[in-house]
Amino acid sequence: MLGDVRVGAVGLGTMPLSIEGRPDEARAVATVHAALDAGVTLLDTADSYHPPGGEPGEGELLVARALASYGGRTDGVLVATKGGRGRTADGGWTVDGRPGHLRRAAEASARRLGGDAIGLYQLHKPDPAVPYAESLGAVRELLDAGTVRLAGVSNVDAERILLAREVLGDRLVSVQNRYSPAVRDGEAELRLCAELGLAFLPWSPLGGISRSSLDGTSALEEDPEFGAFHRVARARGTGPQRVALAWLLSRSETVLPIPGASRPETARDSAAATGLVLTEEELRELGGSAVRGKREASGRTEVNGARSYGREQEAPGRTRVNRALAVQG
């Protein structure tokens, strides 16, 4: 759950579709459509997802176009965007957490995405030049004004998560931090999210598994740190990317990975990770025990409890999975 919204257990990170090296428009849109076809109901973007020299919001506009051209239902899709970062002409990244900037940025994002309000608005990164409470105060004002329905924070430590909870209350529903097979130093934040009932969205969740399983075995297979993911994948007849996502899902019932994709095949493969349940022996080999509880067999993510409606979808050779859709308020 993201607040009172139920989403599928794996989302889609659209950053690779929007920044330098991005695919052409047709393939980018096809990638989003493939994710939706596979049951993905959370799309993550940001106003800063654009190439150097590009215009803010290009990634948001791409998501909006992909949803508008999709042939199926989109009323159950939750779009999450972020504000507070920017790009430089040479490809660098900036941070701007000033309240006035955040308000203007969110209003611009809402216009680009369309609809009554932004489903989930995330403060992209703390600005060292601005007290974090002031940036959070701007997000609270956006919630009060109805520009934003739900709020999240990103790239934060446990202290800032607690501050965000104090300022935003139960309208804070998510934390988006880096976490992957290669980067596991976010355990304290992951545990805190489990305790508070906040969704934990790992960004760059395939760190250490550098290539899609669709590309075959990578050079990392013999690396003792990550080779276990390839060994388990071989034994299961799947790819290390899917194993890595299944491992993340096993870490906590609040984990909701948002792997990126730049082609339809990869988006479908990531979504299929909800159907892979790792054994206790495999989890020991991969490292790390579950933080708290177990995920539903259906592959849904639930935090805080809420009503929802769902659909069942079955692909050839796959286990039938109930992928619950988000309910837009």
For the stretch 143-176, pLDDT in tens is: 999 999 999 999 999 999 999 999 999 999 999 9
For residue 46, give the 3-state DSSP assignment: coil
Average of per-residue pLDDT across 80-87: 98
Q: In one letter, which amino acid is 313?
A: Q
Pairing mode, if any, of strands 300-301 and 199-203? unpaired
**Looking at 49, 121, 132, 179, which residue is catalytic?**
49
Q: Name the pLDDT band for 223 (thresholds 50, 70, 90).
A: low
Q: Name the pLDDT band for 210 (thresholds 50, 70, 90).
A: low
pLDDT confidence of residue 322: 26
Average of per-residue pLDDT across 112-134: 97
- Looking at every residue in the chain, the average pLDDT score rounds to 86
Q: In one letter, which amino acid is 309?
A: Y
4 Rama sector, left if φ>0, alpha if ψ -120 to 50, beta otherwise: alpha
pLDDT in tens, 44-67: 999 999 999 999 999 999 999 999
| Cβ atoms of 230 and 285 closer than 8 Å | no
Residue 96 has pLDDT above 90, yes or no: yes
Q: Assess whether 49 carries a catalytic annotation.
A: yes
Residue 108 has pLDDT above 60, yes or no: yes
Average of per-residue pLDDT across 252-265: 96
Nearest to 88 by CA among 60, 61, 48: 48
Q: Give the residue carrying structure tokens 């177990």.
A: 294
Average of per-residue pLDDT across 286-310: 44
Mean pLDDT check: name the lowest of 57-61, 81-85, 135-139, 220-224: 220-224
Please state, for a pLDDT cut of 90, what percent of the chain lies above it.
79
| Cβ atoms of 109 and 57 closer than 8 Å | yes
Pairing mode, if any, of strands 78-83 and 118-123? parallel
Q: Name the pLDDT band for 288 (thresholds 50, 70, 90).
A: low
- What's the rounded Cα separation, in Å, for the pair 225 and 276? 21
